[in-house]
Amino acid sequence: MSIYKPVIGLEVHVELNTKSKMFCSCSADYFGKAPNTHTCPVCLGLPGALPYANKEAIRKCIQIGLALNCTISEDSLFERKNYFYPDLAKGFQISQLRWPLCVGGEIEVESDFGEKSLIRINRVHQEEDTGKLSHLGGVTLIDFNRSGVPLVEIVTEPDFTDSSQIRDYAKKLQQIFRYLGVSNADMEKGDMRLEANVSVREVKSEEGRGTDFELPNYRVELKNINSFRFIVAAVEFEIKRQINALEAGEKLHQETRGWDEDKKETYLQRSKEEANDYRYFPEPDLPGIKNQELRIKEIQDGLPELPSARIKKYIDQYGISKTTAETLVADESLAELFDGAVKLGLEENVPVKEVANYLVNSPTLASHLKGGKLNISPDEIVQAVKEKKSGKIEDEGELEKIAQEVISENEKSVNDYKSGKESAIMALVGGVMRKTSGKANAIRVKQILERLLL
């Protein structure tokens, strides 16, 4: 029996959260709005209308590229991708193919087995979204509110070998988008969409671990799958289906497949013979994009500290565990809160590790990770840690030792207590508190004293 290895590449579309659309000044906030209210001649593709590019979107696309360690192209062009579809107002989509804004990046992913690998990013480019079709009974309605909303597409090399890497990659991208503040990256609302190209190859025994192997001569595109969970399921199904087919001696073909959630299997949507020739060519209505070094540097300098760098800093400098570090960078507001508390804590001699542990175990964080607000300030965190610290002498043995000392030094109070004057014990408690500089819990001290004086 042969050994097969999956070869998977991903295409991620992310909708930017700019105020206006990519090529006109209509509002890009279309979610839940009355159909066809955010439209104009440009995004409706009316005859004679021309596009004008949204500079903020281009800036955000470059931010994503930089966050993924891409090179930003000095000269970039918009291009037209020509195809007919009812949701495509102009009969072409303004996109990029030969002259993308960002090329050649990489990102580290980790599989469920803890194996780390680098995924190469082929390109990050700018394009526009299409309108939205709703099929209602016998009719199809078109809503152009989404038409022209800025989309960024991130295309990887076929470097994934299992579905847990895909999950990690998507999670990391989502985190980056949110840190950069370029998108809400909400999968459920369609802010972020995934497509996978899946094939499997037979592994030869002499092969090394690199990416230096021949790609299979086919690939299956998993498309139009609007849930993250489903795409992972579809990839897993595909890998099994393809291996079984190859084992049975079948030849696999280039095709597009969808996901049937009821049957839990992929199904054929389009074979290669029906594939589109998109006839890309430079968009003549838009001038080229010149990215000068200075501008790129200015964008680079304005980037926030990204999750991967933060995790590394937390582990290396603060000595926090990897799991804790990962929890603390889950989103930027949390990481910012932590950083704020750390800074404040240093001024008041509160160790970073204690701040981290407090935050990770706090109930507000648990609720925040489920979507709730982070209703705690850095100062409150530091004070809470300090309070906890002030009651820190919890070691029973140590407290008992101090209590014994106080008992032997205060014969009068002991006798008073033993003769029935219960309040006399408070003088002993006060003695213990003085000796511990207040770092003991008075109630517990009292309990210990009562036990010792029985």
Partner 1 sequence: MAITDLTLVQTIKALKDKQFSNEELNQAYLNRIKRYNPELNAFFEVNESSGVIPAAVKSLISTKGLKTSAGSKIIENYKPPFNATVIENLISEGVSVIGKTNQDEFAMGSSGENSAFGSTKNPWDLKKVPGGSSSGSAAAVAADLAVFALGTDTGGSIRQPASLSGVVGLKPSYGRVSRYGAIAMASSLDQIGPFAKSVGDARLILEWISGGDKYDSNCVAEKFKIQNSKFKITDQNLKDVRVGVPEEYFGQGLDEGVKEVIEKAIKKMEELGAEIVEVSLPNTKYGVAVYYIIMASEVSSNLARFDGIRLGGPRDLFGDEPKRRIMLGTFALSSGYFEDYFIKAAKVRTLIKKDFEKAFASCDVIVGPVSPTVAWNLGEKIDDPLKMYLSDAYTIPASLAGIPGLSLPAGFSENLPVGLQILGKYMDEETVLNVGEVLEKALNIKEKPRLR
Shortest spacing between CB 83 and partner 1, in angstroms? 8
Residues 204-263 that bind partner 1 (CB under 8 A): none
- Using the minimum distance from each CB to partner 1, give the nearer residue, 218 or 278: 278
Would you count residue 47 as binding partner 1 (CB under 8 A)? Answer: yes
Would you count residue 84 as binding partner 1 (CB under 8 A)? Answer: yes
The whole-angstrom separation of Cα 435 and Cα 402 is 7
- Using the minimum distance from each CB to partner 1, give the nearer residue, 285 or 400: 285
Please tell me the count of residues contacting partner 1 according to CB under 8 A: 28
Q: Name the segment binding partner 1 (CB under 8 A); options: 66-74, 233-241, 284-292, 429-437.
A: 284-292
Residues 139-158 that bind partner 1 (CB under 8 A): 142
The whole-angstrom separation of Cα 403 and Cα 154 is 67
Would you count residue 287 as binding partner 1 (CB under 8 A)? Answer: yes
- Using the minimum distance from each CB to partner 1, give the nearer residue, 94 or 151: 94
Binding mask 115-144 for partner 1 (x = CB under 8 A): ---------------------------x--
Would you count residue 52 as binding partner 1 (CB under 8 A)? Answer: yes
Shortest spacing between CB 155 and partner 1, in angstroms? 18
Q: Name the segment binding partner 1 (CB under 8 A); options: 5-13, 48-56, 114-122, 366-374.
A: 48-56
Would you count residue 281 as binding partner 1 (CB under 8 A)? Answer: yes
The whole-angstrom separation of Cα 36 and Cα 19 is 17
Binding mask 61-80 for partner 1 (x = CB under 8 A): -------------------x
Binding mask 302-341 for partner 1 (x = CB under 8 A): ----------------------------------------
By CB under 8 A, name the one of 1, 32, 48, 262 that touches partner 1: 48
Shortest spacing between CB 91 and partner 1, in angstroms? 2
By CB under 8 A, name the one of 56, 285, 336, 416 that touches partner 1: 285
By CB under 8 A, name the one of 27, 29, 31, 44 that touches partner 1: 44
Would you count residue 99 as binding partner 1 (CB under 8 A)? Answer: no
Considering only CA atoms, which of 92, 101, 409, 439 is closest in space to residue 280? 92
Shortest spacing between CB 152 and partner 1, in angstroms? 20
Shortest spacing between CB 97 and partner 1, in angstroms? 11
Shortest spacing between CB 54 and partner 1, in angstroms? 11
- Long-range pairs of 110-118 with CB within 8 A, sequence gap ≥ 24: 110/165, 110/168, 111/162, 111/164, 111/165, 111/168, 112/162, 112/164, 113/164, 117/159, 117/161, 117/165, 118/159
Shortest spacing between CB 140 and partner 1, in angstroms? 10
CA atoms within 13 A on the CB side of 257: 29
- Using the minimum distance from each CB to partner 1, give the nearer residue, 276 or 361: 276
- CA angle (288, 95, 87) in 5-degree steps: 140
- Using the minimum distance from each CB to partner 1, give the nearer residue, 81 or 201: 81
By CB under 8 A, name the one of 32, 137, 210, 284 that touches partner 1: 284
By CB under 8 A, name the one of 21, 38, 60, 90 that touches partner 1: 90
Q: Which residues make Cβ contacts (< 8 Å) with residue 65, sequence separation at least 6?
A: 72, 101, 102, 105, 124
Would you count residue 49 as binding partner 1 (CB under 8 A)? Answer: yes
Shortest spacing between CB 45 and partner 1, in angstroms? 5
Tell me which residues touch partner 1 (CB under 8 A). Answer: 41, 44-53, 80, 82, 84, 86, 89-92, 142, 277, 279-281, 284-287
